Amino acid sequence: MTIQPRRSPAQSESKRIAAELDTLISPAARGDRHAVDQILRIISPLIRRYCIARMGNTSHLTVTVDDVMQEILIATVASISRYEDQGKTFLAFVYGIAANKVSDAFRRGKHTAFPMADLPDHAGTGPGPEEWTLAFERRAHARELMKVLAPNHQEVLLLRVVMGWSAAETAEAIGTSPGVVRVIQHRALNKLRRELQVA
């Protein structure tokens, strides 16, 4: 009896999404507008999650998460006709675009403030100010903690933990082997554990 390794739900979902995108890319490249719309529908939540995880609070940047997300989606649509399968999934290709656009946003530097949206007419049913503050503080603490890691270690943890990618998918996206990804992840987590013990 062969024991199969357990896949997390996020890894299974990521595999399913990558396969679905790979079936849509050919029709989209031929100009099928419905296929392009489907691609955007599929990648939008993933791109949002990636941008939020990488950028955090954007008050110090000249752009917001939504701005960068829009740039990524526009660049993705523009590159669909030029995409060639070179052993990478289309999802890994999109991730490459996202990584570059987020890096560009950080390079563009700092800015003052953005106008506030209009206040809603009624109270929301979602988390209140206390929950938002606690969640913000946890994310800020996690981002500060991640700064002790080398950039490639940060990227591996982001893809593996936040995005839920498998070691193989992460390796494909960053251009290395799954074994190297596992080693980087192991070292990064050990370093974070040591930092938490010191704090």
Same domain, 13 and 91: yes
Q: Judge whether 123 lies within some domain.
A: no
Same domain, 88 and 185: no
Same domain, 109 and 171: no
Q: Confidence band (pLDDT; 50, 70, 90) for 158?
A: confident
Give residue-wise pLDDT tens across range 66-79.
889 999 999 999 99
Same domain, 98 and 161: no
Q: Domain range spanning residue 185?
A: 140-199
- Contact of 36 with 80, CB cutoff 8 Å: yes
Amino acid identity of 95?
Y
Q: Confidence band (pLDDT; 50, 70, 90) for 124?
A: low
- Contact of 140 with 60, CB cutoff 8 Å: no
Please count the structural domains in the chain: 2
Strand ranges in the chain using DSSP code E only, listed in sequence order: none
Same domain, 104 and 17: yes
For the chain, the farthest-separated pair of C-alpha atoms sits apart, in whole angstroms, at: 62
Same domain, 104 and 197: no
Rounded to whole angstroms, the Cα distance separating 30 from 83 reads 11
Give residue-wise pLDDT tens across range 2-21.
555 555 555 567 778 888 88
What is the domain-level CATH number for residue 42?
A: 1.10.1740.10
* Over residues 151-170, mean pLDDT: 86
Mean pLDDT check: name the lowest of 18-27, 42-51, 100-109, 151-160: 100-109
Tell me the chain's radius of gyration from C-alpha atoms: 19
What is the domain-level CATH number for residue 193?
A: 1.10.10.10
Q: Judge whether 98 lies within some domain.
A: yes
Same domain, 155 and 65: no
Q: Judge whether 131 lies within some domain.
A: no
Same domain, 30 and 80: yes
Q: Judge whether 128 lies within some domain.
A: no
Q: Judge whether 132 lies within some domain.
A: no
Same domain, 73 and 168: no
The per-residue pLDDT for 32 is 92
User: Looking at 67, 97, 113, which one is the last position of a domain?
Assistant: 113
Look up the pTM and report it. Answer: 0.64
The per-residue pLDDT for 28 is 92
- DSSP line for 42-94: HHHHHHHHHHHHHH---TTSSS-HHHHHHHHHHHHHHHGGG---SSS-HHHHH
Q: Judge whether 129 lies within some domain.
A: no
Q: Judge whether 14 lies within some domain.
A: yes
Q: CB under 8 Å to 108, separation ≥6 — which residues? A: 61, 62, 63
Give residue-wise pLDDT tens across range 32-64.
999 999 999 999 998 988 888 888 766 666 788
Same domain, 108 and 155: no
Q: Judge whether 21 lies within some domain.
A: yes
